[in-house]
Amino acid sequence: MLPGISRPDLTTRYIHLRRAFTTHRSRFAGAPNSVFWAVFLATGVAAISGVIALCGLLTAALGGMDQDSVLSADATNIAAAIFTFSFWLARAHYQGKPAAWTVQIVLSAIGLLGFPFLTVIHGILLAFFCQEGVRRWYSSEPI
């Protein structure tokens, strides 16, 4: 029995939940560093675009949005779309979904066109995401 828990069924449930949480956390702890940085970057982009979208919505709600406004309706919609996409990408990287790997490779291939700085950055990203350990993270096989 655990201290403070008097019923055996609650103790069993607690142990089961704790074991599931520890297993989930340890799976991400075994991920390559590039996956961690991809999650971090996508979360950062999601946070920034979410703040922009929220500011645009508040400006529209207060009646201060017009055609010359910095936060027009188009900018708010684009920021909301970027927020949604980045949030999905961060979650998919964290869960190791193969679609996240594909999207990351496509975005990095497009990023190679931004000469000279983006070419270097996305070249490094492509090199990391094409490594065997990273590809194994996104496969359906257990690590």
Distance in angstroms (rounded) separating the CA atoms of residues 44 and 52: 13
Confidence of residue 78 (pLDDT cuts 50, 70, 90): confident
pLDDT on residue 33: 75
| Tens digits of residue pLDDT in 1-19 | 455 555 555 566 666 656 6
pLDDT on residue 76: 80
First to last CA, the chain: 33
CA 33, chain centre distance (Å): 14
Report the chain's mean pLDDT, rounded to a whole number: 78
Find, among 42, 34, 20, the residue nearest to 124 by Cα: 34
Distance in angstroms (rounded) separating the CA atoms of residues 67 and 101: 39
Mean pLDDT, rounded, for 80-105: 90
Domain boundaries, the chain: 1-30, 31-137
Mean pLDDT, rounded, for 118-131: 88
| Tens digits of residue pLDDT in 26-56 | 555 566 777 777 888 888 888 888 888 888 8
pTM score, two decimals?
0.66
